[in-house]
A and B are shown apart, each in its own frame.
Chain A
Amino acid sequence: MSEFADQLLVLVMLINFLVLGSSRMAIAIRAVAVQGVVLGMLPAIIHSFSWHLVAIVIGMILAKGVFIPWLLFGAMHKVQIKREVEPFIGYVSTLLIGAITTALAFVFAAKLPLAPEHQGLLLVPASIATTITGFLTLTTRRKAISQVIGYLILENGIFIFGLLLTSAMPVMVEAGALLDLLVGIFVMGIVINHISNEFSSIDTSRLTALKE
């Protein structure tokens, strides 16, 4: 089973690169949706069956695969923005940095004192790499939607690590966390809407009236 999980994780990491390298927003949104769905499936593969698991899987897939992409597409259509025009750092450079950090993530993960049963799994490096990708997107992209995408990737990275201890997390907490994240994204979506109303643009580099 874990081999299949590893392959999925490789997919997740490839999606990271896709997001980092693409200027089109639609692609990025879809990529993150796919990433969400893939991650949603992972618990089912790794852990043995339980209703708890089922709930999480379904919740994840619905939220990350359907609801959030829908929200983001809605925002995108509303403000008529299709691509990230001027990132702080170019696409090639971000890809390069992404590659380096992913490699570093592997090196780093190999040094971590993992529990014996988790040795050799791709979960930890994938988690680190995805988290860093999230940060990278957040810091290099200007558009609000791109930043939400970055945040989603960051979340996904954290989720991957969470897979290591699904058994340890009580349902209520996990559900709560999931719900909170979802509401968070939802609120962000609303905010983006308001931003576009207020500025007729969702370029966050215009949101610099408040400083010092």
Chain B
Amino acid sequence: MITTAGKPADPAFLIITGLALNAFSGVPGLFLKRAAAVGQKLATLLAVAGALCGLAGCFSAIASGETESFLINWSLPFGPCEIAIDPLAALFLLSVFLISGCCAVYANGYWPAAKQPATSRALSFFIGILSASMALLIIARNGVFFLMAWEVMAVSAYFAFTVESGKVEVRKAGMLYLVCTHTGTMALFVMFVLLRNMTGSFLLPPTASLSPFVPGAALVFFAALFGFGMKAGIMPLHIWLPAAHANGPSHVSAMMSGVMLKMGIYGIIRIISLFTPVPAWWGAVVLGLGIFSGVTGIVSAIGQNDIKRLLAYSSIENIGIITMGIGAALIGQSIGNQTLLFLGMGGALLHVLNHSLFKSLLFLGSGAIIHATGTREINRMGGLARRMPRTAPLFLLGAMAICGLPPLNGFVSEFLLYFGFFSGVKESTAPALLGMGLAVTALALIGALALACFVKVYGVAFLGLPRSAEAEDGHESPWQMSAAMGLLALSCLAVGLLPRYAAVLVQPAVFTLFPSLVASGSNISTHVPLDVLGAIGAALIAAAAILAVVYHRRLKSAPQASAATWGCGYLQPSARIQYTSTSFAEMLVRLFRGTVRPRYELPKISGFMPASAGFSSRIPDTVLDAAILPVLRVTGIVFSFFRRLQNGEQNLYVLYIFITLVLLLVWIH
């Protein structure tokens, strides 16, 4: 139905082939009931082929820097349907294809069809649909078509992460997710309709073609923020996110956190790009939301003891960082600070890519831990580095990357953002200056908190002694899992060491968003010394290597001994006296208890010889537990009051008819 056919080497052709392969990947498995393992292998093969195809398409689309669009002749009454691939779309497609390919490989080890035939079939199918629908929504240029892909994405993600629906918490998480995503989609309904009101068509207008000052534009903006923010998990719309990420299979969590959240970001960016330079307050709102989610997200993450919940909150934090970048870029645009515009948007976009790399890596890593120990509770882990020699360094790399440490990719994107914010501080005046100052401070605080958070995760889960029998029995995961993680880790390192090439990926997307910048002749590399950054990263590695060689020589030339850890005189230290996840975070949680509201269940100790008692602590979600649930509860009470209207008394029912009649008659009168 595509009116303009693409050549085989065409980026659009490759991308659509990749998309179709992904969508189809789980289908053969559905018919291979007896041979589930074959179905899964086939699904992997198709998904990987789709991913390669799609990646090739993305790279060539970015390289060409041009927009290809096609009109599709569809029969739905919403005007013509267009799909288009521009560098911005290609950038987001990059993470879709990369992560879905990795997850498909990973699934073979993590969720082997041989062990779970029924669920693995469903999982392959829905993951295929999920990645295809994400790719589709990225290239959709008709609002209704976008919404269709969007909702298919939302629903297939639901089915993917609730495959183990026998578990209560999975169902609860699914329910929460479904309601939230549906609410968000409704906001998008409104948004696209309002947009249609402005343009007269459901086709997305060209970049920078709408005025943000006409009535309704602000409403579009807020509807987009709500609808897309709900999906992206911007605080306080993140309520579905922790439970959904925690309770799904890990590779689904990786897809959701690594890619699906970004669809929200994509939506926000795409919609804002339709407007001519927007007023500064739009940027301020976005920036404020970003700062709020970033700080609150990471503060909530630190207190978590469930490794996947923790990663989920950290996703909220990273989404916050991305949002900060977008907001700063908008402010930069409106105050005419080109560096800020460039680096805010460039940093945000690069962070989108980076986050999908390292967060997927970490989720896959957490999957490996769960595979090994069967628990998500960090407090029950420990000593896994010895038992999982392949996974541990990969996870460490991911943890370092997410903390934004050089020489990894997280540092590069955060560097761009810092640089942009600093340039704002350096040059701008009062209100924007305040915003940028806050942004720098927030980013610094987030960085330090993230570091504490991931030191805790890595240290408590992988290092020290096993805290439970499960951790004691931990084992390395199959090669497919390590391979998927290895590829992601490698990508993290590559972006960190070759930031110039990462900037090349992002650059065309920034130009697509702000066509006026093309004329300026500058690009990210002219603003930021990316080569030096890469070189310093290499130098750092070299320095460490030299020091390591020296150290190694010294070690060899002197006697070595091994002994138990020094217990400071304590004679029989057991694994249980180690610092735990809870105790590591205790100080920070206490510092931020206004935000995170920890709940402690203290043991009751009474009498002489008290029985054994337990202490547990839990960090509930502040927004969900303190705001949303009480409101829902009150609503429920109000509703149950109204439900008495239908109390089974027929007489009353007749009375309703009469009253309706009378009311209508009175109204007309």
| Contact A211:B650 (CB < 8 A) given known A135-B658, A139-B658 | no
Instruction: Name which of A22-30, A45-53, A116-124, A140-148 contacts chain B.
Output: A140-148
- In the bound assembly, the distance between CA atoms of A50 and B649 in angstroms comes to 45
Please give, as numbers and ranges, the residues of chain B lying within 8 Å of A211 by CB-CB distance. 646-648
A55 within 8 A of partner (CB) = no
A209:B648 contact, CB within 8 angstroms: yes
Instruction: Name which of A77-85, A183-191, A200-208 contacts chain B.
Output: A200-208
- In the bound assembly, the distance between CA atoms of A148 and B114 in angstroms comes to 66
B655 within 8 A of partner (CB) = yes
Please give, as numbers and ranges, the residues of chain A lying within 8 Å of B651 by CB-CB distance. 88, 138-142, 147, 204-205
Chain A residues 81 to 114 lying within 8 A of chain B, measured CB to CB, are: 88
Chain A residues 28 to 55 lying within 8 A of chain B, measured CB to CB, are: none
- In the bound assembly, the distance between CA atoms of A208 and B650 in angstroms comes to 8
A172 within 8 A of partner (CB) = no
Please give, as numbers and ranges, the residues of chain B lying within 8 Å of A207 by CB-CB distance. 648, 650
A210 within 8 A of partner (CB) = yes
Please give, as numbers and ranges, the residues of chain A lying within 8 Å of B648 by CB-CB distance. 207-211
B654:A138 contact, CB within 8 angstroms: yes
Chain B residues 617 to 652 lying within 8 A of chain A, measured CB to CB, are: 643, 646-652
- In the bound assembly, the distance between CA atoms of A208 and B643 in angstroms comes to 14
- In the bound assembly, the distance between CA atoms of A70 and B650 in angstroms comes to 25
Instruction: Render B366-405 as a binary contact track against A, CB cut-off 8 A, 1 for contact.
Output: 0000000000000000000000000000000000000000
Question: Shortest beta-carbon distance, A105 to chain B, in Å?
Answer: 13
Please give, as numbers and ranges, the residues of chain B lying within 8 Å of A140 by CB-CB distance. 651
B643:A205 contact, CB within 8 angstroms: no
Question: Shortest beta-carbon distance, A93 to chain B, in Å?
Answer: 14
Please give, as numbers and ranges, the residues of chain A lying within 8 Å of B655 by CB-CB distance. 135, 139
| Number of chain B residues close to chain A: CB under 8 A | 11
- In the bound assembly, the distance between CA atoms of A142 and B648 in angstroms comes to 12
Chain B residues 217 to 254 lying within 8 A of chain A, measured CB to CB, are: none
A147:B646 contact, CB within 8 angstroms: no
Q: Which of B643, B649, B652 contacts A212 (CB 8 A)?
A: B643
Chain A residues 160 to 212 lying within 8 A of chain B, measured CB to CB, are: 204-205, 207-212
B649:A208 contact, CB within 8 angstroms: yes
B647:A208 contact, CB within 8 angstroms: yes
B647:A139 contact, CB within 8 angstroms: no
- In the bound assembly, the distance between CA atoms of A209 and B647 in angstroms comes to 9
| Contact A139:B643 (CB < 8 A) given known A207-B648, A209-B648 | no
Question: Shortest beta-carbon distance, B26 to chain A, in Å?
Answer: 41
Please give, as numbers and ranges, the residues of chain A lying within 8 Å of B658 by CB-CB distance. 135, 139
B654:A205 contact, CB within 8 angstroms: no
Residue of A nearest to B650 (CB): A204
- In the bound assembly, the distance between CA atoms of A88 and B655 in angstroms comes to 12
- In the bound assembly, the distance between CA atoms of A140 and B655 in angstroms comes to 9
Q: Interface majority SS on B: helix, strand, loop or mixed?
A: helix
- In the bound assembly, the distance between CA atoms of A138 and B652 in angstroms comes to 9
Q: Interface majority SS on A: helix, strand, loop or mixed?
A: loop
Please give, as numbers and ranges, the residues of chain B lying within 8 Å of A204 by CB-CB distance. 650-651
A135:B646 contact, CB within 8 angstroms: no
Question: Shortest beta-carbon distance, A21 to chain B, in Å?
Answer: 18
Residue of B nearest to A144 (CB): B650
B646:A205 contact, CB within 8 angstroms: no
Question: Shortest beta-carbon distance, A173 to chain B, in Å?
Answer: 23
- In the bound assembly, the distance between CA atoms of A209 and B648 in angstroms comes to 7
Please give, as numbers and ranges, the residues of chain A lying within 8 Å of B646 by CB-CB distance. 211-212
Residue of B nearest to A111 (CB): B669
Please give, as numbers and ranges, the residues of chain A lying within 8 Å of B654 by CB-CB distance. 135, 138-139
Please give, as numbers and ranges, the residues of chain B lying within 8 Å of A138 by CB-CB distance. 651, 654
Please give, as numbers and ranges, the residues of chain B lying within 8 Å of A139 by CB-CB distance. 651-652, 654-655, 658
Point out which of B646, B654, B658 has the most chain A C-beta atoms below 10 A from its C-beta.
Answer: B654
Please give, as numbers and ranges, the residues of chain A lying within 8 Å of B652 by CB-CB distance. 139
Question: Shortest beta-carbon distance, B646 to chain A, in Å?
Answer: 5
Question: Shortest beta-carbon distance, B638 to chain A, in Å?
Answer: 15
- In the bound assembly, the distance between CA atoms of A210 and B648 in angstroms comes to 6
Residue of A nearest to B648 (CB): A208
Please give, as numbers and ranges, the residues of chain B lying within 8 Å of A205 by CB-CB distance. 649, 651
Q: Which of A135, A147, A209, A212 contacts B650 (CB 8 A)?
A: A147
Residue of A nearest to B654 (CB): A138
Question: Shortest beta-carbon distance, B659 to chain A, in Å?
Answer: 10
- In the bound assembly, the distance between CA atoms of A24 and B154 in angstroms comes to 64
- In the bound assembly, the distance between CA atoms of A189 and B655 in angstroms comes to 22
- In the bound assembly, the distance between CA atoms of A114 and B651 in angstroms comes to 33
- In the bound assembly, the distance between CA atoms of A212 and B643 in angstroms comes to 6
Please give, as numbers and ranges, the residues of chain B lying within 8 Å of A208 by CB-CB distance. 647-649
- In the bound assembly, the distance between CA atoms of A207 and B651 in angstroms comes to 11
Residue of B nearest to A138 (CB): B654
- In the bound assembly, the distance between CA atoms of A204 and B658 in angstroms comes to 19
Question: Shortest beta-carbon distance, B173 to chain A, in Å?
Answer: 28
Please give, as numbers and ranges, the residues of chain A lying within 8 Å of B649 by CB-CB distance. 205, 208
- In the bound assembly, the distance between CA atoms of A88 and B651 in angstroms comes to 9
- In the bound assembly, the distance between CA atoms of A135 and B647 in angstroms comes to 19
Residue of B nearest to A108 (CB): B665
Residue of A nearest to B658 (CB): A135
Residue of A nearest to B643 (CB): A212
Question: Shortest beta-carbon distance, A136 to chain B, in Å?
Answer: 9
- In the bound assembly, the distance between CA atoms of A4 and B652 in angstroms comes to 38
Residue of B nearest to A136 (CB): B658
Residue of B nearest to A140 (CB): B651
- In the bound assembly, the distance between CA atoms of A211 and B658 in angstroms comes to 20
Residue of A nearest to B657 (CB): A135
- In the bound assembly, the distance between CA atoms of A88 and B650 in angstroms comes to 12
- In the bound assembly, the distance between CA atoms of A205 and B650 in angstroms comes to 8
Point out which of B646, B647, B651 has the most chain A C-beta atoms below 10 A from its C-beta.
Answer: B651
- In the bound assembly, the distance between CA atoms of A207 and B652 in angstroms comes to 13
Question: Shortest beta-carbon distance, A146 to chain B, in Å?
Answer: 10
Please give, as numbers and ranges, the residues of chain A lying within 8 Å of B650 by CB-CB distance. 147, 204, 207
- In the bound assembly, the distance between CA atoms of A141 and B651 in angstroms comes to 7
Please give, as numbers and ranges, the residues of chain B lying within 8 Å of A142 by CB-CB distance. 651
- In the bound assembly, the distance between CA atoms of A135 and B220 in angstroms comes to 50
Question: Shortest beta-carbon distance, A112 to chain B, in Å?
Answer: 12
- In the bound assembly, the distance between CA atoms of A204 and B653 in angstroms comes to 12
- In the bound assembly, the distance between CA atoms of A212 and B645 in angstroms comes to 8
- In the bound assembly, the distance between CA atoms of A147 and B652 in angstroms comes to 12
- In the bound assembly, the distance between CA atoms of A205 and B646 in angstroms comes to 13
- In the bound assembly, the distance between CA atoms of A211 and B648 in angstroms comes to 5
Question: Shortest beta-carbon distance, B645 to chain A, in Å?
Answer: 9
Please give, as numbers and ranges, the residues of chain B lying within 8 Å of A210 by CB-CB distance. 648
- In the bound assembly, the distance between CA atoms of A141 and B655 in angstroms comes to 12
- In the bound assembly, the distance between CA atoms of A211 and B646 in angstroms comes to 6
- In the bound assembly, the distance between CA atoms of A51 and B208 in angstroms comes to 78
Residue of B nearest to A154 (CB): B654
Residue of B nearest to A210 (CB): B648
- In the bound assembly, the distance between CA atoms of A139 and B658 in angstroms comes to 9
- In the bound assembly, the distance between CA atoms of A205 and B653 in angstroms comes to 12
Residue of B nearest to A150 (CB): B654
Question: Shortest beta-carbon distance, A210 to chain B, in Å?
Answer: 6
Please give, as numbers and ranges, the residues of chain A lying within 8 Å of B647 by CB-CB distance. 208, 211-212
Chain A residues 126 to 158 lying within 8 A of chain B, measured CB to CB, are: 135, 138-142, 147
Residue of B nearest to A212 (CB): B643
Chain B interface residues (CB < 8 Å from chain A): 643, 646-652, 654-655, 658
- 9 contacting pairs across A/B (C-beta < 8 A): A139-B651, A139-B658, A142-B651, A147-B651, A205-B649, A208-B647, A209-B648, A211-B648, A212-B643
Please list the 6 inter-chain residue pairs (A to B) with the smallest Cβ-Cβ separation, ordered nearest first. A208-B648, A211-B648, A138-B654, A139-B655, A139-B651, A212-B643
Chain A interface residues (CB < 8 Å from chain B): 88, 135, 138-142, 147, 204-205, 207-212
A139-B658, A205-B649 given; name 19 further pairs at CB < 8 Å. Answer: A88-B651, A135-B655, A138-B651, A139-B654, A139-B655, A140-B651, A141-B651, A142-B651, A147-B650, A147-B651, A204-B651, A207-B648, A207-B650, A208-B647, A208-B648, A210-B648, A211-B647, A211-B648, A212-B646
